[in-house]
Amino acid sequence: ADVSGEHARIWLEEGQWLVEGLDSRNGTVLVNGLTGEEVVVEPPRSDRHGFASQPVPLSAGDTLRLGSATTFLVVEGRPIE
């Protein structure tokens, strides 16, 4: 209920996976798989005063938290074409 169909965008650019927020209501946080450091990809809309989403690099083992209840583990690899 806290993730929309267009919550965030993930893409591959020049060999690097990236993620950025798409103006979601509940925000996105990346948790570094090696250090546990949290990087706010996009804060919740209510906390976004002056914030502009920028692409954030993704690495194997990182976790994406979409909203407060949805978590994705980033697995290394490329999509099958």
For 5-23, how does the pLDDT look when each residue is reduced to its tens digit (9 = 90+)?
Answer: 678 999 999 989 999 999 8
Single pTM value for the model: 0.82
Burial per residue of 26-42, b for 16 or more beta-carbon CB atoms within 10 angstroms, e otherwise: bbbbbbeeeeeeeebbb
DSSP state, residue 7: S
Strand locations in the chain, DSSP E?
8-13, 16-21, 28-31, 38-42, 56-58, 63-66, 70-73
How do residues 32-60 score in pLDDT, each as one tens digit?
988 999 999 999 988 988 888 899 999 88
